[in-house]
Amino acid sequence: MSLPKVLCFHLILMLSAFTGAANGYYYSRWTKCIHSSRDLSDMVYIDNYIFNKDVHIQFNSTVGEYVGYTAHGVYNAELYNKDPNQLQQERAQVETYCKYNAKNRQSAIADKTVAPKVKLSSVKQAGGRHPAVLMCSAYRFYPHGIQVTWMKDDKPVKSDVTSTEEMPNGDWYYQIHSHLEYTPKSGEKISCMVDHAGLTKPIIVDWDPSLPESERNKIAIGASGLVLGIIITAAGLIYYKKKSSGRILVPT
């Protein structure tokens, strides 16, 4: 299992629009804590002073002091750098703010695992020269790093398999969908095996080749229609027979 390589936390400290119009002026200050190692030793703290979309002053903990990017920014960065209190406070942020929060997040989120749910479904049924397509979906798992394997009679299949990337849902969970193209053979067992850090042993789901529910419904609806048709036709015929035989009885 691989942990998210970079946990990057943005915090908008201040955001203010100077006019009520949609195209206002935006002054914002964004801080970021960036790290990729588990022991947080490579933590970098970035403090951006932004006007509209331009960073005019930045504090980067690796650099250790403020850097200005516009005339106004350079002027103020120099002022900030001359203030030992401000500089000391800013330099301490990488420990007191970044590492402190990252430790909490690591134990509350990053170190947790959530096992995937697995679903096997038919995408396309075999017909004519077309092979059948099955889809194996694993979803709501965390973190990313999952193995989806197709098996025919318990032997892994490599060919005719296409898979999506592990897609982030945006809520910390991930999902993945793998497709298998195959020509159904009677007696052959098709399974999807999923392994993930949140599981003690892999989940194996066997494909049930009996007709899926939607197909059964279609057949049921079709059959009901046919029976109804036959009843109406029969009723019509009987009615017609009765009428015509009744007519014969009445002499004209």
Interacting residues with ligand NAG (CB under 6 A): 44, 46, 60, 62-63
Contact between 48 and 73 under an 8 Å Cβ cutoff? The reply is no
User: At closest approach, how far in Å is the CB of 34 from ligand NAG?
Assistant: 6
Report the C-alpha gap between 222 and 219 in whole angstroms.
5
Measured from the CB atom, the residue of 34 and 203 that comes closer to ligand NAG is 34
Contact between 146 and 194 under an 8 Å Cβ cutoff? The reply is yes
Measured from the CB atom, the residue of 1 and 63 that comes closer to ligand NAG is 63
Contact between 126 and 183 under an 8 Å Cβ cutoff? The reply is yes
Report which of 184, 198, 172 is spatially closest to residue 118, judged by C-alpha positions: 198
- Write down the residue that tokens 């095996």 correspond to: 193
Measured from the CB atom, the residue of 51 and 172 that comes closer to ligand NAG is 51
Measured from the CB atom, the residue of 62 and 224 that comes closer to ligand NAG is 62
User: At closest approach, how far in Å is the CB of 46 from ligand NAG?
Assistant: 5
User: At closest approach, how far in Å is the CB of 58 from ligand NAG?
Assistant: 7
Report the C-alpha gap between 121 and 142 in whole angstroms.
22
Measured from the CB atom, the residue of 6 and 22 that comes closer to ligand NAG is 6
User: At closest approach, how far in Å is the CB of 207 from ligand NAG?
Assistant: 48
User: At closest approach, how far in Å is the CB of 60 from ligand NAG?
Assistant: 4
Report which of 125, 135, 117, 118 is spatially closest to residue 210, judged by C-alpha positions: 125
User: At closest approach, how far in Å is the CB of 61 from ligand NAG?
Assistant: 7
Report which of 7, 2, 57 is spatially closest to residue 35, judged by C-alpha positions: 7
Query: Could you tell me which residues come within 8 angstroms of residue 27 by beta carbon, excluding any fewer than 6 positions away?
Result: 14, 15, 16, 18, 50, 51
Measured from the CB atom, the residue of 62 and 163 that comes closer to ligand NAG is 62
- Write down the residue that tokens 């403090």 correspond to: 47
